[in-house]
Amino acid sequence: MDCYTANWNPLGDSAFYRKYELYSMDWDLKEELRDCLVAAAPYGGPVALLRNPWRKEKAASVRPVLDIYSASGMPLASLLWKSGPVVSLGWSAEEELLCVQEDGAVLVYGLHGDFRRHFSMGNEVLQNRVLDARIFHTEFGSGVAILTGAHRFTLSANVGDLKLRRMPEVPGLQSAPSCWTVLCQDRVAHILLAVGPDLYLLDHAACSAVTPPGLAPGVSSFLQMAVSFTYRHLALFTDTGYIWMGTASLKEKLCEFNCNIRAAPKQMVWCSRPRSKERAVVVAWERRLMVVGDAPESIQFVLDEDSYLVPELDGVRIFSRSTHEFLHEVPAASEEIFKIASMAPGALLLEAQKEYEKESQKADEYLREIQELGQLTQAVQQCIEAAGHEHQPDMQKSLLRAASFGKCFLDRFPPDSFVRMCQDLRVLNAVRDYHIGIPLTYSQYKQLTIQVLLDRLVLRRLYPLAIQICEYLRLPEVQGVSRILAHWACYKVQQKDVSDEDVARAINQKLGDTPGVSYSDIAARAYGCGRTELAIKLLEYEPRSGEQVPLLLKMKRSKLALSKAIESGDTDLVFTVLLHLKNELNRGDFFMTLRNQPMALSLYRQFCKHQELETLKDLYNQDDNHQELGSFHIRASYAAEERIEGRVAALQTAADAFYKAKNEFAAKATEDQMRLLRLQRRLEDELGGQFLDLSLHDTVTTLILGGHNKRAEQLARDFRIPDKRLWWLKLTALADLEDWEELEKFSKSKKSPIGYLPFVEICIKQHNKYEAKKYASRVGPEQKVKALLLVGDVAQAADVAIEHRNEAELSLVLSHCTGATDGATADKIQRARAQAQKK
Amino acid sequence: MAFPHRPDAPELPDFSMLKRLARDQLIYLLEQLPGKKDLFIEADLMSPLDRIANVSILKVRSLSLRSCPSFLFEQLCFLVRPRIKNMRYIASLVNADKVAGRTRKYKVIFSPQKFYACEMVLEEEGIYGDVSCDEWAFSLLPLDVDLLSMELPEFFRDYFLEGDQRWINTVAQALHLLSTLYGPFPNCYGIGRCAKMAYELWRKLEEEEDGETKGRRPEIGHIFLLDRDVDFVTALCSQVVYEGLVDDTFRIKCGSVDFGPEVTSSDKSLKVLLNAEDKVFHEIRNEHFSNVFGFLSQKARNLQAQYDRRRGMDIKQMKNFVSQELKGLKQEHRLLSLHIGACESIMKKKTKQDFQELIKTEHALLEGFSIRESTSYIEEHIDRFGSPRFFLPVLRLLCLLSITENGLIPKDYRSLKTQYLQSYGPEHLLTFSNLRRAGLLTEQGPGDTLTAVESKVSKLVTDKAAGKITDAFSSLAKRSNFRAISKKLNLIPRVDGEYDLKVPRDMAYVFSGAYVPLSCRIIEQVLERRSWQGLDEVVRLLNCGDFAFTDMTKEDKASSESLRLILVVFLGGCTFSEISALRFLGREKGYRFIFLTTAVTNSARLMEAMSEVKA
């Protein structure tokens, strides 16, 4: 393997840089790259080309064309540009293409050329036109920075959450800056710009002039500047052909280099890898590529074709019409193993394994050598690590074979690093494949994480591969397979040429009841594509009603939503739909809908009872529910109205309603109440005291207690109080007054409709035995015994009972016979009983 | 004679866990709002809260506890039921603060859950952004070892009168909680529309969270859900077992009762916790009242004898007695005197002529004889006791008459209503409209013609459709069919000789041997058959054709012990008489019943829920 390091180029004493081909491009470009606006997404992302961007003519043949390719040059989309002139293109972190137009509008396209949305960068930008624009990436997302015709900057740090920030003015700036870039420090985006020999830093508050430390003298202009992938380093290219490299904070210089080319480079990008000490910048001119770093010499390449540089986390991708290459610093592990005449443990292990395959005893010698130094573990680790950094599967395999060989001689080498590397490489090789075209390196892959990679595969509609990867890596279903299936389904619903039934069936077949799949999300997508019917079909598969309802509402299928909500039994959900309906429909339709859904109706009524009384009334009106309307007004007559007139009026309305409801009883009762209220008012005026709101019964009682017997009787007549009640009422009231005289008069006024036992009872209750006895004699025969017992006349009670020959009465009297005093009576009863039995 | 359980009676599960859960959750919620805060606790939540967390616990959490609006601190926390009225109150406080320029942090904790309508009101009042909301899922309060209450008295009116189904979800959540804590229920039965809905919602919840309870062994073998409207009659009767009588007389609130001065025979009233821990109460709670006095005096004599033992003791024995037994005896003494006091007070109120007549009338109604006399009795009652405080007992009798007689005949209906309105005020016009809607007090007539039509129609169609038609008709005029059901289920025991209340022979003893509670009889019958089989006619008469269900899992994981534990869920409340009756049934058959009710109820509470009273 002597030639393996043939493409290694040393830079200084300690580092090698190598460039290897990723793909030979298949994109059959007709134009030169320089005639196009180019944007390539990092992490092996897609490439967008806008042809003829600067033509102003309207002719269709020369209209700009936007093409999107995978990194391997496979066409993904092509569309005719019909919007305004484009100044700049760029990819967001979500692999959405941002096209910045001259008027400050930013159009967002998907990977497949599907238009997503657009937003504007503000009025100021619109007025002054866009001179230049940059898309940049921060930890919050992707941002856009714009230089306007008025030489002012506007930026938004996150296009997903658009907040425009207008940067302060640079004092005395007359012409456009010669170059500028976006710096991100401490989570804030700044702009660094060069005007002649001066550098200015703009943050959102102020503009400050800055000077890089140790800058060589004689600079009259900066031609190019570059910020590293992580925003940590900055490189400046001056008109003297001098390159300054330092920290992005401009506090420290790392190194400098003089390339003696005064022409402005086409592109300049950083080429460094994480955790490496080496710093290098790649500078590209028309036909020349130069890698410069902290070394007196540079590495030079000739460019055969027009090329474009894409900075990556750990290197630079370079693509042209025919090839796509990767340039990076050779990682430490690979360097150790492959450096010529290396005696590193990894190198020896690789050698040993090769000899072993040749069945040569040298294998043993090499192995011994490593073991004697106690470096076998290290050797295995080196081989595993180096395998990760190799692009060619053959080389990966031989390194892994060496690692595996070495592992055999180790007692306790944890297997997971080896296994994981095998898995990772398998995934990487799969996505690097020409047809997929995502040339990720191992470091990029680790930075990106498997979840994001899966997202990107889904974005490219590579569902089968994504699912295979999930299954291969045994990812949990919810994060893995189900998520991808759900995405697939969301894509499937966009296929307009397939009928709703077929799509719904296909989706259900594939998804079934897979855990973690939300049918409502898929349905939402279907609705988004205008396929409402399909959305409804898909919602049928959704087991949770709570999930169906919001979408149905959105689709204006409110009535269906209402019945689904009712089905769910969740009253809160029903209520949500109701409020929605209330706003959506006019009142009449809303009430009609309610009418057909008793459950919802009761719910809404309950709410109205507490919160919207007027609506409640309208509801009853709408239904011609006069019964409830009447009740409503009755309630109002004592709850809402204060004045007597208002109350009477409310009662009148109620009575009318009851008549309409054919509830004459209620109507009459209500009218009586109106009369009573008026009368009570009059009584209060004439007699004083409290009458209002008393029941009829209490009103009469109060009158009697107040000595207004005439009035009481008049009232009783007016309201047709039955005699029985009047008697009870008077009896109770007079007894309460202890007006025994009046009571006696009353008792003799005519024959009592309630008999005379109550008189006895009530006198006893008031502890007036004397009065009680008066009435006891008048009690009818059936109750005589009871009355006599009440007044304590046991002996006479016994006589009556015996006379009646009533067994029950006899035992009642007997139970009242106490001890000695009534002994004679008791005997009498016993005798009577005995006699009765004889007969 | 307390109910000593059969030696093979299964152990009850430990429900104190529910208290701990609720307490911990509340403390967690309150800690979310660090620092000093005023806590506003809705009056209805005070007693339940008192049962699970000492106010002292809350004080430890640096709260100042107050229920008047003069708040001190910069943080204000409301612990409320999800009612619109409360939201308006909170909004008025917050808005008053805004006007006064005070800024405070507000947090509303809803128990047992938050309703969207409440949030809506907060939003309409313009304070949605100012308050943060939380839920305290405290839906099950163990009032006793075998009694869980949701303490939601409004459930009854909301569902059975207003048709508002929002609490059903709460019930389902509570059942779900029980099944996660105590294992799945292998056998489920239920009757009633609400029962069915609650059951289905609960099943749905279980399915959504499947796997959790699958592997568990069931601790409780059966669950029986029952709607209150299946049996209004039992709830309307006067209670005569001790616990029910105490509830009717003094109102047991959240498992404790306030005995007034006439009971404590001092000048203070005393709050007494009534549960199985009260040894004296435990022995008499299920007794017919006529036995209680005798039992208590026996108990008093025993106690005296125990005190007397110390006469002959030497000093060592005396020391033992004082250190070990005296405290218990004193405690027992205290309780005994309380219950004797309560009995006296009840006797004073109840043994008068009136109460005897009342019971007699009730029994007549239940048995269906001398209806005319009963009607006049009620009418006389209305005429005599015109004062508003009597409106509930009379109303109860009216309802009882209506249900047992399948509605009042039109003439009576009108005249009784007129009399009633004259006595107790015109606003009861609304009460009558409520009672009619709930099917508690109806008029005969149209309903009967319906029956005729219905029976004709049902001859023409299949049984199932007939059931549906019955439901359709019953929604037009809910008929109770009490008489027919009573005959089918033999609810009125045939009396030969005196019913011995000391040694009851069936559940009828809770109503002096006159009536077996319908709800309990249904449960008994279904448990006996393990299904509704053979009860089709009863179910149809109950107007529950579509709403009687059985669900059994075939798994044999349930131990024989758990199969004798039965959870009975009363949707809309249950009475202490029903509890006593089922406890009796359990003792006879070797079951143990556990009761879950939306609230403990009685006739007065039912009537209150239905009435419209001037605010």
Please give the residue that has the higher pLDDT: either A717 or B495. A717
The Cα B425–Cα B391 span in angstroms is 10
* Residue B169 sits at the chain A interface (C-beta within 8 Å): yes
Q: Measuring CA to CA, which residue among B374, B287, B390 is closest to residue B339?
A: B287
Please list the alpha-helical segments (H only) found in A159-286: none
Q: Give contacts of B 282-321 with A, CB under 8 A.
A: none
CB–CB of B116 and A665 under 8 A?
no
Look at residue B614 in the predicted model and tell me its pLDDT.
Answer: 58
Query: Are B36 and B58 a contacting pair, CB within 8 Å?
Result: no
Q: Give contacts of A 752-771 with B, CB under 8 A.
A: 754, 758
β-bridge pairing A188-195 and A179-185:
antiparallel
CB–CB of A571 and B169 under 8 A?
yes
Q: Range with the lowest mean pLDDT among A440-444, A639-643, B112-116, B181-185?
A: A639-643
CB–CB of B120 and A575 under 8 A?
yes
Show the low-confidence residues of chain B (pLDDT under 50).
Answer: 1-2, 60, 62-68, 447, 449-477
* Residue B386 sits at the chain A interface (C-beta within 8 Å): yes
The Cα B340–Cα A818 span in angstroms is 25
B584 DSSP 8-state letter: H
Number of domains in chain B: 4
Q: Which of A581, A695, A786 to mutate to test the interface with B (most CBs of B within 10 A)?
A: A695
Whether the predicted pLDDT of A297 surpasses 80: yes
The Cα B451–Cα B32 span in angstroms is 60
- Same domain? B292 vs B225: no
Alpha-carbon gap: A597 to the closest alpha carbon of chain B (Å): 12
CB–CB of A611 and B116 under 8 A?
no
Q: Measuring CA to CA, which residue among A415, A410, A441, A412 is closest to residue A428?
A: A441
| Closest CB to A575 among B116, B200, B414 | B116
Torsions phi, psi for A5 (to 5 deg): -95, 15
Q: Which domain holds residue B101?
A: 15-138
- Whether B36 is in a domain gets the answer yes
- Same domain? B85 vs B131: yes
Residue A83's SS3 state is: coil
Max CA distance (Å), chain B:
89
Q: Which residue has the tokens 């430890």?
A: B60
The Cα A250–Cα A270 span in angstroms is 16
CATH of the domain at B124: 3.40.50.2060
Please list the alpha-helical segments (H only) found in B368-481: 371-384, 391-404, 410-424, 428-438, 446-460, 463-476
- Same domain? B366 vs B442: yes
CATH of A31-210, one of 1.10.1060.10, 3.40.50.1820, 2.130.10.10, 1.20.1070.10: 2.130.10.10
Torsions phi, psi for B192 (to 5 deg): 115, 150
- Whether B6 is in a domain gets the answer no
Residue by residue, DSSP assigns A30-43 as -S-GGGEEEEE-TT
The helix, strand and coil proportions of chain B, stated in percent and rounded to the nearest 5, come to 55, 10, 30
Query: Are B58 and B39 a contacting pair, CB within 8 Å?
Result: yes
Cβ neighbours of A543 in B, within 8 Å: 208
In this prediction, residues A256-281 reach a mean pLDDT of 88
CB–CB of B615 and A639 under 8 A?
yes
In this prediction, residues A347-367 reach a mean pLDDT of 89
Please give the residue that has the higher pLDDT: either A765 or A99. A99
- Whether B469 is in a domain gets the answer no
Q: Measuring CA to CA, which residue among B610, B436, B430, B439 is closest to residue A629?
A: B430
Look at residue A400 in the predicted model and tell me its pLDDT.
Answer: 93
Q: Measuring CA to CA, which residue among B143, B146, B148, B104 is closest to residue B127?
A: B104
Cβ neighbours of A724 in B, within 8 Å: 379-380, 383
Q: Give contacts of B 105-144 with A, CB under 8 A.
A: 115-117, 120-121, 124
- Whether B77 is in a domain gets the answer yes
AA letter at A532: T
* Residue B384 sits at the chain A interface (C-beta within 8 Å): yes
Look at residue B65 in the predicted model and tell me its pLDDT.
Answer: 47
The most confident of the ranges A46-55, A111-120, B572-581 is B572-581
Count how many Cα atoms sit within 13 Å of the Cα of residue B435 in the half-sphere of its side chain.
29
Look at residue A770 in the predicted model and tell me its pLDDT.
Answer: 84
pLDDT digits (tens, 9 = 90+) for B374-423: 898 888 888 887 777 778 888 999 999 999 988 888 888 998 998 888 88
Average pLDDT, chain A: 85
**Sheet containing A288-293: order of strands:** A267-270, A280-284, A288-293, A299-302
Last residue of a domain, one of B105, B138, B171: B138
Please give the residue that has the higher pLDDT: either A349 or A517. A349
CB–CB of A666 and B429 under 8 A?
yes
pLDDT digits (tens, 9 = 90+) for A371-387: 888 888 999 999 999 99
Whether the predicted pLDDT of A270 surpasses 80: yes
Residue by residue, DSSP assigns A724-788 as HHHHHHHHHHHHHHT-HHHHHHHHHHS--TT-SHHHHHHHHHTT-HHHHHHHHTTS-HHHHHHHH
- Whether B121 is in a domain gets the answer yes
- Same domain? B147 vs B219: yes
CB–CB of A732 and B423 under 8 A?
no
- Whether B473 is in a domain gets the answer no
CATH of the domain at B187: 3.40.50.1910
10 Å CB burial of residue A361 (0-12, 13-18, 19+) is exposed
CATH of the domain at B296: 3.90.830.10
Alpha-carbon gap: B423 to the closest alpha carbon of chain A (Å): 5
In this prediction, residues A93-106 reach a mean pLDDT of 90
The Cα B400–Cα B482 span in angstroms is 10
Please give the residue that has the higher pLDDT: either A477 or B298. B298
Count how many Cα atoms sit within 13 Å of the Cα of residue A401 in the half-sphere of its side chain.
14
- Same domain? B70 vs B161: no
- Same domain? B131 vs B153: no
Q: Which of A547, A602, A604, A670 to mutate to test the interface with B (most CBs of B within 10 A)?
A: A602
10 Å CB burial of residue B389 (0-12, 13-18, 19+) is exposed
Residue A390's SS3 state is: coil
Give percent of chain A above pLDDT 70.
97
pLDDT digits (tens, 9 = 90+) for A129-158: 899 999 998 887 889 999 998 888 998 888
- Whether B495 is in a domain gets the answer no
Query: Are B443 and B416 a contacting pair, CB within 8 Å?
Result: no
The Cα A137–Cα A43 span in angstroms is 12
Query: Are A708 and A737 a contacting pair, CB within 8 Å?
Result: no
Q: Give contacts of B 549-608 with A, CB under 8 A.
A: none
- Same domain? B304 vs B332: yes
Please give the residue that has the higher pLDDT: either B143 or A509. B143
Look at residue B213 in the predicted model and tell me its pLDDT.
Answer: 52
Torsions phi, psi for B65 (to 5 deg): -100, 120
- Whether B325 is in a domain gets the answer yes
- Same domain? B102 vs B128: yes
Query: Are A626 and A657 a contacting pair, CB within 8 Å?
Result: yes
Query: Are B233 and B577 a contacting pair, CB within 8 Å?
Result: no
Non-local (6+) Cβ contacts of A181 within 8 A are: A134, A191, A192, A193, A225, A226, A227, A234
* Residue B445 sits at the chain A interface (C-beta within 8 Å): no
Q: Which of A545, A564, A571 to mutate to test the interface with B (most CBs of B within 10 A)?
A: A571
In this prediction, residues A167-171 reach a mean pLDDT of 87
Cβ neighbours of A638 in B, within 8 Å: 427, 614
* Residue A249 sits at the chain B interface (C-beta within 8 Å): no
CATH topology of domain A1-18+213-330: Lipocalin (2.40.128)
- Same domain? B296 vs B181: no
- Same domain? B377 vs B301: no
Look at residue B165 in the predicted model and tell me its pLDDT.
Answer: 87
Alpha-carbon gap: B315 to the closest alpha carbon of chain A (Å): 48
In this prediction, residues A242-257 reach a mean pLDDT of 90
Q: Give contacts of B 187-216 with A, CB under 8 A.
A: 197, 200-201, 204, 208
CB–CB of A729 and B386 under 8 A?
yes
CATH of the domain at B421: 1.25.40.850
